[in-house]
A = this chain, B = another copy of it.
Amino acid sequence: MAQKVYIKDLAEYVGKEVTLKGWLHNKRSSGKVKFLILRDGSGLLQCIVFKGNVTEEVFDTADKLTQESSFEVTGLVKEEPRAVGGYELDATDVKLIAPSVDYPITPKEHGIEFLIDHRHLWLRSQRQAAILRIRHRTIKAIRDFFDDRGFVLFDPPILTPNACEGTSTLFETEYFDLGPAYLTQSGQLYAEAGAMALGKVYTFGPTFRAEKSKTRRHLTEFWMVEPEVAFNDLDDNMDLAEEFLEYVVQTVIKEKADDLKILERDVTKLENVKHPFPRISYDEGLEILKKNGVDFEWGNDLGGADETIISSQYDRPVMVHRYPAEVKAFYMKRDPKNEKLALAVDVLAPEGYGEIIGGSQREDDLDLLISRIKEHNLPQEFFDWYLDLRRYGSVPHSGFGLGLERTVSWICGLDHLREAIPFPRMIYRNTP
């Protein structure tokens, strides 16, 4: 394969003649010179076409290029600190590959619905491409963190016979002659089986919620990473969560500084994301709400507005632990010091980004777990395999889930999750 030259690697080619291929991001004209901004997916490059340096045909080609036309350009690479990306190309040849007539997304303002209708083209914008590169680096940081610490990746099934947390928000499909199957909401129950087999595991895949939530913090299809560790208690779980989040955020702001600059993200707030994170109980959280004039009844779950008030007290993520068991899932272990509390923890991101991690120590007692399944009116036969994990060598264990798109939105400083995934799926949209 002939080595292609990409814009991001131009530092190696200064003073050399190269040929690059890509699309016209933008252009301007100044009499006898055309400035073509080439976009190749790895960056932008200003290509200078002087009338005196090229044939009439080439100058004419440069003149006729329209936004998003594909073309090939040959020329000499020069360092130029004032140019976008720090390099420039003195063009000697320009060849049109294919035209682009009336490209729908112009440099002027467009409405958000129009842009999502054209998501397949909107991705070509500098801003959207930067977000997707940051998403990629975030995913890599997540995987590296667990891979480097001896976790085994454990891909749970997407098609499941049962619902992890109730059946009202599930996408259903017919599974041959076996009746309905549901798209997974969480890989956690399977990850627990994995932890009993492999010690430390993590899942990382798409999850689904058929929730009729039309908020900027909800997607119907989103990616979630879920570590699960045998012999970890709630404190260990919080230690892992803060070490993890610090690693991911610090790695991404270091490695993706350029893309964060494109987004004009103020990274000073992300630089604070270092352990230890404050750890407060739900009860302490309620104290904060009270001090801020919120009349909150013990026993309810925290809402988005409550989370924002609590998290605004701190300069880094805050871990809220020991929630009323009533508002949490059936599989969470109760606090031995207070049966009304679940050994749960939510991590609230700063700047109003809300809950990005939810986790808990799991109930490891067979009889208690069976009674919880009954209390929640869940069909015990679907959980029989899960109960086996408590029948055969049960151990204390804990884990948590981190929502990828919420994390990417927070790191990028986005208003809405829809920009944090290539093709967002929301209650009112499953196209393109």
- Chain A residues in the interface with B (C-beta under 8 A): 1-2, 4, 6, 8, 21-24, 40-42, 68-70, 97-101, 103, 118-121, 123-124, 128-129, 132-133, 135-136, 139-140, 143, 147, 150, 152-161, 171-176, 178, 181, 183, 190, 193-200, 205-206, 208, 210, 212, 220-221, 223, 230-232, 235-236, 239-240, 243, 364, 385-386, 388-395, 421-423, 425, 427-432
Contact = CB atoms under 8 A, between A and B. Distances in A.
Contact of A430 (B4, B175, B239): B175
A237 to B, nearest CB: 9
Contact of A385 (B120, B143, B231, B421): B120
Contacts of A394: 70, 97-98
B212 A422 contact: no
A103 B172 contact: no
Interface centre among A8, A100, A175, A392 (most CB of B within 10 A): A392
Contacts of A42: 150, 198-199
A410 to B, nearest CB: 18
A393 B23 contact: yes
A393 B129 contact: no
B393 A154 contact: no
B430 A181 contact: yes
The A contact surface, by secondary structure, is: mixed
A397 to B, nearest CB: 10
A193 B119 CA distance: 9
Contact of A98 (B197, B223, B393): B393
Given A8-B150, A41-B198, A175-B430, 18 more contacts: A1-B232, A22-B230, A24-B393, A41-B152, A41-B196, A42-B199, A97-B395, A98-B393, A100-B391, A100-B392, A123-B198, A132-B198, A156-B422, A157-B221, A159-B221, A172-B174, A181-B430, A190-B423
A100 B394 CA distance: 8
Contact of A206 (B154, B158, B230, B427): B158
A68 B181 contact: no
Contacts of A235: 1
Nearest to A4: B231
A142 to B, nearest CB: 11
A197 B391 CA distance: 52
B155 A197 contact: no
